Amino acid sequence: MRLVPGSDVPARELAPVNGPALTVPEPGRLVHLQLRRFAGCPVCNLHLRSFTVRHAEIEAAGIREVVVFHSSAGELREHVAGLPFAVVGDPEKRLYAEFGVESARRALLHPRVWWTIVKAVAVSAWQLARGRARAPKLRPDGGRLGLPADFLLGPDGRLAAAKYGEHAGDHWSVDDLLALAAAVPAGTAR
């Protein structure tokens, strides 16, 4: 079941593979919860690169980035070095089920994702050749057909905005996130 803006999101503690435990939602701060695909996913890596480059801008807007993959913590550690935000493993896909995020063949077969896949694979191949990245598992935890989703959580535990991807490359841009965050009423955002 998909969540809609205004839905209550129960507080939980998450254990990132690259830092200390954190509470989501976080009192006094917006949280952008990204549910991505699998560790080493070329499309996800391309997307996260744009968030890494603009991380200071995202932080200045009062937003904490939390990225979840349906991969084990051990597998994720090989792929997340250098990311400036929390990365969480969820190989059992508990958060995916709770937030109504699914897998589907259209993740890779939708025509709107094809160019993104070509670009992402080319960038990943270049990074692999230069020794700056690791290849994903041939059979990643949770499979290759996961769909992405984005959630903007208010500090009061209510969902401010949500996007369920129609294909592997369908997600919020940094500009989308900043615009959504700016629209959250000041009394609930900070």
pLDDT digits (tens, 9 = 90+) for 12-58: 999 999 989 999 999 889 999 999 988 888 888 888 999 999 999 99
Could you tell me the CA-to-CA distances from 143 to 93, 116, 147 in Å, in that order?
Answer: 11, 19, 11
Mean pLDDT score of the chain = 88
DSSP tag of 49: H
What pLDDT is recorded for position 189? 43
pLDDT band at residue 110 using 50, 70 and 90 as cut-offs: confident
pLDDT at 159 over 60: yes
pLDDT at 60 over 70: yes
Report, at the CATH architecture level, how domain 12-176 is classified.
3-Layer(aba) Sandwich (3.40)
Average pLDDT over residues 118-125: 76
Contacts of 19 (CB under 8 A, 6+ apart): 86
**Residue carrying the six token digits 């700056």:** 132
DSSP tag of 135: P
